[in-house]
Amino acid sequence: QVQLVESGGGLVQAGGSLRLSCAASGSISGYNGMGWYRQAPGKQRELVARITNSGSSNYADSVKGRFTISRDNAKNTVYLQMNSLKPEDTAVYYCNAFKYTYNIWGQGTQVTVSS
């Protein structure tokens, strides 16, 4: 069973940047892709960005132009570069790997953006 471990969260001022990393304990080549989700207090978990094995990506409208997802297959790692952060980006960010309807999740990393 592949495990996902996120890192890189923290506290940042509005307008700042953070880079999240998600390292898989094993090969993720058998999965269709990986992604980042977030969940703010009192809200449902929502998709932030996904990237497939072919390298195609998609983003939530709220982060387009500010966030970039990328992956390093050799390191079994996916990244989320977050720029121009806003207070509304504050949430727990979860790494995800998906294979059709099967999903695995990391434990989450807190991102807090102060105004």
pLDDT digits (tens, 9 = 90+) for 40-62: 999 999 999 999 988 899 999 99
- The secondary structure of 69-88 as a DSSP string is EEEEGGGTEEEEEE-S--GG
Element housing 98 (H / E): strand 91-99
Asked if 4 and 20 touch (Cβ cutoff 8 Å), the reply is no
Asked if 81 and 17 touch (Cβ cutoff 8 Å), the reply is yes
**What is the pLDDT averaged over residues 92-115?**
95
- Place 1 in a pLDDT band, splitting at 50, 70 and 90: confident
| Spatial distance between the Cα atoms of 1 and 70, rounded to a whole number of angstroms | 23
- The secondary structure of 9-64 as a DSSP string is -EEEETT--EEEEEEESS--TTSSEEEEEEE-TTS--EEEEEEETTS-EEE-GGGT
**What is the pLDDT averaged over residues 22-48?**
93
